Structure 1
Amino acid sequence: MITDPIKKAKNGTYYFRANLGYDSSGKKIQKYRSGFKTKKEARAEYSKLLLMKPEELTHSKDKMSFKQYVEELFLPWYKTKVKMQTYENRLNIILKHFPYFYKLAVCEIEPIHVQKWQLSLSKNLKPSYVRAIQGLFSIAMDRAVVLGIATSNPSKIIGNVKKQKPQIDFWTKEEFEKVISLIYKEDFYQHFLFISLWFLFMTGMRIGEATAIQWDDLDFETGVLSIDKTLYYKNQSDYRFTEPKTKASVRHIVIDPTTLNLLQEWKEVQQKLIKTNFVMSYNGIPTQKHTIAYAIGRYAKMAGVHRIRIHGLRHSHASLLISMGENPLIIKERLGHKDIETTLGTYGHLYPNSNFDVAHKLNGVIAFKPAQQNYDDSPKNQFTVNYLRRREYEKVQ
């Protein structure tokens, strides 16, 4: 059954994608045309392309605007390739920063345009964020090449901004003690904030993992906490469980007795006022990260310590374990890292005296008695012979 190549877009216009054979190098020739007011106009253009020679098709460029491409082709395709939470988070980046190219056709975007865009972004944004923006743009241009709308990806020609190792921001044990000591547990809402900050600091969970934790996930008898999901939170009526970040994120960690007692205490207080299975909840629904972030800023100021991001509590847990001399492999398993390289790459610099500690431990570890005679009668080379002669001469003198 032959399908009609002419399609109708949501805005009422017509478009088509034509497969037109192969060029002299064996590369598949594809052309995309859109924006036709009638189906007849689209078909006429389609027929025109069919009659063109391969060399003519190779040198002809598709004049589709980047704006039209992003809205009609790229976003619908990209939405099917990533998780919904990822798509919605990155959609904001695309809608904010891609319009820089909207006045250009896809095929007209050149390396010079990308470089100017990259420089303008770098003036006010962190390198890591610029890398994320350009990474999305590069994905979009790669797809345009696949569809035959562009012949190359100018973003890859320019290259992304240099990756910089982010500074790990965390609270020391002493700084956390100052903060947590200011939270009044006799107040229900402050009790909720107390247990939330404590829970994050003492487990190293990602915020999405922590807000997804149910009371059923915690075995109070064994102290084992099961982490097998994360929470997507859009608003109070739109939230759901999603798959963890990686397979390694699915894990079991053991909670210390002090934290277990505090959680048991919070559960009893919480369940008297609300009925919910979410551990981090004061109103029956899971908490949103902005609530925690605001509390961190407020209490940090009161305690006279520097403000950290929510993820800084995860870093704080790791730094606490490192200061206690914990094995990196244990830290990797507890944090749910994919591999040990991630753990060491992120926290390796927090072991400033590790080489000195190793040297101290190695000191005197090997027991031996120096040989009193030569047991090796293997052939001697000129350097050995000269050395032995010098030793004999020194004995005579």
Structure 2
Amino acid sequence: MASFRKRGSTREYRIVYTDRQTRKQKEKSKGGFRTKREAQLAAAEEESKINHYGFAENGEEKVESYFNEWLEVYKRPNVKPITYSVQERNVRLNILPRWGKYRLNELTRSEYQKWINELREHYSEGTVRRIHSIMNCAMIDAVHEFNILRSNPLQKIKVPKYVTKQDAVSYYTKVQLDKFLNTVNTPVKNAKYKASIQYYALFTLLSRTALRIGEALALTWDDIDTETGRLTVNKTLVYPLNSTPYISTPKSKNSVRQIKLDDPTVKLMKRHRVNQKEVILMYENYMASKDNLVFHQQDGRWLRTNVVREYFKEVCKRAELPVLSPHALKHSHAVHLLEAGANIKYVSEQLGHASVKVTADTYLHITNKIEDDALALYERYVQNGQIMGKQPRRSRKSL
């Protein structure tokens, strides 16, 4: 509720309101109005902004308070749940620890650019661009949607393009991958469900198709046609932190695709389906999936992504291999295809990339073999050109 008072020859309003985040009382005042009516109209407009946006100060709002409100009210209802999860995680883990205690009007381009440069030393260019995109989008809204900043202090920020160690794609060589899969396929003594080949089937499928882990865990048996050897990808499992898992659409429209399986993988998936039924009969507390899932927990529900990651790490340790993540199997498949000489357009479609350029930028610089093969092709081309490059004699008729 606004109150008004006369100060000299002008009028001033004062608004007391409760901050939505801290639940503490705040106030906003402004003077210089010639009449009480002018002050009342200005106060009504300001109260409307406070009620609608939750903000009042001209850039005085704390970054932490602003982002919490911005995410909950203006991002969650307007983006896919999986997109919101990524944005919320980046805000919580990267943006707020550095900027949360600042006021919006304390952000400067110079200090922010230094932070972006520091991030680039630890993260890939793509990751830093995502973090900056979230921060910049929030500042644009602060200017144009909420009118609590006069201008965006983060304009013309540049993300460094130089390569860091984080840019290197983690993958297993063919020998390492064989060792990893052989280790998965070796029963562990005292394992609770050691008759199950589920993880062997899962990790083999990831390494032979470049599926993302969420795409694999969302699969039902209806998605795999073992007669034609085709696998349909049209959904992904999202397992948010401290929240209920759910099925969502894939990462992008290019992620909806069909993948042709090689014969050994088709045979393994057939074997896994039979083994799945055998395990259900073998263990009293092992239940079938009501959703016809290809991979599931012993209670029939979706496999948890964090459990899969932990199991993957344990296998890496047993196999005495670098401890990576299941995503390394996707990279491994892409690298092995390129090393085998597969057409890059095919590889791009297999991975569900938005364009061939994404695939090329990600993988073509990471193996010596690809470079060596390219140079060998070039050398053969040049040598053949030298041998056959003599100018043919011109006939008299052509003169």
TM-score for both structures, normalised by structure 2: 0.73
2:296 aligned with 1:281: yes
User: How is 1:356-375 mapped onto 2 (pairs within 5 angstroms)?
Assistant: 356-359=375-378, 362=381, 364=384, 370-371=392-393
1:215 maps to which residue? 221
Cα pair 2:16 2:27 within 8 Å, conserved: no
Matched, 1:70 2:67: yes
Q: Which residue of 1 aligns with 2:265?
A: 259
The 8 Å contact of residues 111 and 154 in structure 1, kept in 2 or not, is answered as: yes
Q: CA deviation at 1:119?
A: 6.2
- Is the Cα–Cα contact under 8 Å of residues 127 and 163 in structure 1 kept in the other structure? no
Query: Quick one: which of 355, 359, 382 aligns to 2:374?
Result: 355
Q: Deviations over 1:180-238 (max 9, x none)?
A: 22234566456222111111001111111111111110011111111111111237982
3-state SS, counterpart of residue 171 of structure 1: coil
Cα distance, 1:79 vs structure 2? 1.7
- Displacement, 1:91? 1.6
Residue in structure 1 matching 2:135, options 137, 159, 163: 137
Sequence identity percentage: 26
**2:50 aligned partner:** none
Mapped pair 1:149 → 2:151: no
Shift of residue 167, structure 1, vs aligned partner = 0.7
Aligned to 1:47: 41
C-alpha separation in 2, matches of 1:371 and 1:271: 75
Given that residues 170 and 313 in structure 1 are in contact (C-alpha distance below 8 angstroms), is that contact kept between their aligned partners in structure 2? yes
Equivalenced residue count is 340
1:250 aligns with 2:284: no
Paired letter, 1:138: N
* C-alpha separation in 2, matches of 1:281 and 1:162: 41
Mean CA deviation greater in 152-161 or 167-176: 152-161
Distance in 2 (alpha carbons) for counterparts of 1:63 and 1:235: 32
Amino acid paired to 1:146: H
CA distance in 2, matches of 1:294, 1:224: 29
The change in CA–CA distance for 1:154 and 1:208 in structure 2 (over 3 A counts) is same
For residues 119-198 of structure 1, the aligned pairs below 5 Å read: 125-128=122-125, 129-147=127-145, 148-162=147-161, 164=163, 166-184=167-185, 188-189=193-194, 191-198=197-204
In the TM superposition, residue 80 of structure 1 has moved relative to its aligned partner by 2.6
Q: Provide the secondary structure at the position in 1 that maps to 2:246.
A: strand
C-alpha displacement at 1:299, in angstroms? 2.3
The offset of 1:288, in angstroms, is 2.4
Cα deviation 1:76-135 (Å, max 9, x = unaligned): 112233211221332233234325444443233222442464466567x43545443333
Tell me, in whole angstroms, the C-alpha distance in 1 between the residues paired with 2:156 and 2:228. 55
What amino acid is the match of 1:69? Y
Q: What pairs up with 1:4-19 in 2 under 5 angstroms?
A: 11=20
Structure 1 unmatched runs, 5+: 1-5, 15-33, 52-59, 378-397
Distance in 2, Cα, partners of 1:119 & 1:348: 26
Secondary structure, aligned partner of 1:182: helix
Check the 8 A contact 2:117/2:159 in 1, yes or no. no
**How many Å separate the matches in 2 of 1:327 and 1:196?**
26
1:342 to 348, 351, 358: 358
**Matched letter for residue 315 of structure 1:** H
Deviations for 1:273-332, whole angstroms, at most 9, x for unmatched residues? 131222122422222232332233222233233222221100111111122211111111
Segments of 5+ residues of structure 2 without an aligned counterpart are: 1-14, 30-36, 46-56, 281-286
**1:299 to 2:315 alignment:** yes
CA distance in 2, matches of 1:44, 1:231: 55
Q: Which one of the candidate residues 208, 211, 234 is aligned to 1:202?
A: 208
TM-score, normalised on structure 1? 0.73
Does structure 2 retain, via aligned residues, the 8 Å contact 1:98–1:137? no
Q: Relative to structure 1, is the Cα distance of residues 103 and 176 closer, same or farther in structure 2, using a 3 angstrom cutoff?
A: closer
SS at match of 2:155: helix
Q: Relative to 1, partners in 2 of residues 1:270 and 1:154: Cα closer, same or farther, differing over 3 Å?
A: same
| Corresponding residue SS for 1:353 | helix
SS in 2 for 1:321: helix
Q: In 1, Cα distance between the equivalents of 2:43 and 2:253?
A: 48
Distance 1:345 1:116, change over 3 A: closer
> CA separation of 1:299/1:68 partners in 2, compared to 1, >3 Å: closer, same or farther?
closer
CA distance in 2, matches of 1:369, 1:115: 58
Structure 1: distance between partners of 2:320 and 2:64: 48
